[in-house]
Homo-oligomer: A and B are copies of this chain.
């Protein structure tokens, strides 16, 4: 049997787009395939969230499945798709094998993930049945996503005659995730002695990014071919093997796809970025150029009295190297006008005032032009609250939201090496500063970023206690300060823009914390 894996990019909720996409791929690969396999919930996109509670949405999805059944009459091959299926008022995360005008076979997900970014027990019930699906005289053992991560389903499918494992996924990207997928796939192959075909979607959906990296594993556990990461691709037995790129490239691609798809899927084309001469906005601009093209990225430098000539030079140089339009709008007169009206404004209020006048300037420009503001606070800033609410936190999407500052540096280095120093070297090597008061640097308020990020990763990704981190050799005062900042900045994160998940524990969907929280 000739099986083709379709690594596609559905849009959540856009049932017609997803239907057209399936039909287009089907038509293109009909003559060279017996079966074309699409990802989990490809009809609806993943995750549809509470759209799944809307009965009309489920009816509309069922209607698209009927259209695919009708369409299948004109095709010689069959398709295997993921789709929600309502059976007697209970919703399943199902896989349907459709061909010759009918549903040839079906199964559904047994293990419903309800951790991390996932809430599937909010929507679905578990399948109870472990039948394999017979097609062209061969028995397929179909796994839906999480079912590949446990031994029981594959093993029962094998008991029920399965000769090959076919696994449909909506598996979000994070650093190191693909190796964990391969480990699980190898375990299932070793347990059953069956080859395994893995198809994942690609695309950005709000915070979650799918990297694809679909693969075919033979019954010895060798990858015979693997699809391109972060790109639509078609995989069959004869396809090339695309290895995973290094970590920095993966991060860059994830953030780029996140921004690109957020724009496309919300019907937007152009972005504005406040370019400060610092590293975060420089990288965000580079990502935006990669995602949208240089002609869709507009940079605005908004100096105040505290902005150095060095920052002005670096910002202008960066815009020039990235070949994006660049404009300077000073906020100095606005700051002066405000302080003249309210002369008591000082200290942190005066610093935030500058940041908020920049936000106001960008948002006004956004309202006038229809271009979306990209916000650029990295994970170290989001964690510690080193960002101004309604100031530099203004914006529709944040490609850096889940990148630690240390990662930002590494990604910049990788980007410059591979793209020819488009980010001025001085931006990477100079001391980071918010320039909201004279001679300020980030390290006036925060520990050095290598220390800070080490502590934050232990607090967030590893969920260690301050005491455990101190026992690992970090300074007591520093750890306790960082843990306190992380806790009290929750109210800011609650009002932050969505951004691309990169790590194993992104804020918001994957780290759900109370704001009013008395835990010390």
Residues of A within 8 A of B (CB): 11-17, 45, 47-51, 53-57, 60, 114-115, 119, 121-122, 204-206, 261-262, 265-266, 329, 333-334, 337-338, 341-342, 344-349, 352-353, 356-357, 359-361, 363-364, 367-368, 389-390, 394, 396, 463-465, 467-468, 491, 494-498, 511-520
Name which residue of chain B comes closest to A362, CB basis: B390
Residues of B within 8 A of A57 (CB): 519
Given contact pairs A45-B518, A49-B512, a sample of 13 additional A-B residue pairs in the complex whose CB atoms are under 8 Å apart: A11-B518, A14-B519, A47-B514, A48-B514, A53-B463, A60-B519, A329-B341, A337-B337, A352-B367, A353-B360, A353-B364, A359-B390, A360-B390
Residues of B within 8 A of A119 (CB): 114, 119, 122, 512
- Asked if residues B14 and A518 are in contact (CB atoms below 8 Å), the reply is yes
- Asked if residues B329 and A516 are in contact (CB atoms below 8 Å), the reply is no
Closest beta carbon of chain B to A288's beta carbon, Å: 17
Task: Please judge, given known A-B contacts A114-B122, A390-B390, whether A266 and B515 are in contact too, CB under 8 Å.
Answer: yes
- Asked if residues B56 and A516 are in contact (CB atoms below 8 Å), the reply is no
In the assembled complex, the Cα of A205 lies from the Cα of B467 at a distance in Å of 27
Task: Please judge, given known A-B contacts A363-B390, A367-B348, whether A12 and B514 are in contact too, CB under 8 Å.
Answer: yes
Residues of B within 8 A of A349 (CB): 364, 367-368
- Asked if residues A55 and B514 are in contact (CB atoms below 8 Å), the reply is no
In the assembled complex, the Cα of A203 lies from the Cα of B221 at a distance in Å of 55
Name which residue of chain B comes closest to A466, CB basis: B56
- Asked if residues A206 and B12 are in contact (CB atoms below 8 Å), the reply is no
Residues of B within 8 A of A266 (CB): 491, 515-516
Closest beta carbon of chain B to A83's beta carbon, Å: 15
- Asked if residues A518 and B352 are in contact (CB atoms below 8 Å), the reply is no
- Asked if residues B334 and A396 are in contact (CB atoms below 8 Å), the reply is no
- Asked if residues A56 and B512 are in contact (CB atoms below 8 Å), the reply is no
Closest beta carbon of chain B to A499's beta carbon, Å: 11
In the assembled complex, the Cα of A341 lies from the Cα of B338 at a distance in Å of 14
User: Which 8 residue pairs are nearest across A and B when measured between Cβ atoms?
Assistant: A14-B518, A13-B519, A56-B465, A349-B367, A265-B516, A337-B337, A13-B517, A390-B390
- Asked if residues B344 and A352 are in contact (CB atoms below 8 Å), the reply is no
In the assembled complex, the Cα of A468 lies from the Cα of B59 at a distance in Å of 13
In the assembled complex, the Cα of A465 lies from the Cα of B58 at a distance in Å of 11
Residues of B within 8 A of A338 (CB): 334, 360, 364
List 24 A-B pairs, Cβ < 8 Å.
A11-B516, A12-B516, A13-B514, A13-B519, A45-B518, A49-B514, A54-B465, A55-B465, A56-B465, A56-B468, A114-B119, A114-B121, A119-B119, A122-B512, A266-B515, A333-B337, A334-B334, A334-B338, A338-B360, A338-B364, A342-B361, A348-B367, A357-B360, A359-B390
Residues of B within 8 A of A265 (CB): 516, 518
- Asked if residues B49 and A519 are in contact (CB atoms below 8 Å), the reply is no
In the assembled complex, the Cα of A356 lies from the Cα of B266 at a distance in Å of 24
Residues of B within 8 A of A205 (CB): 514, 516
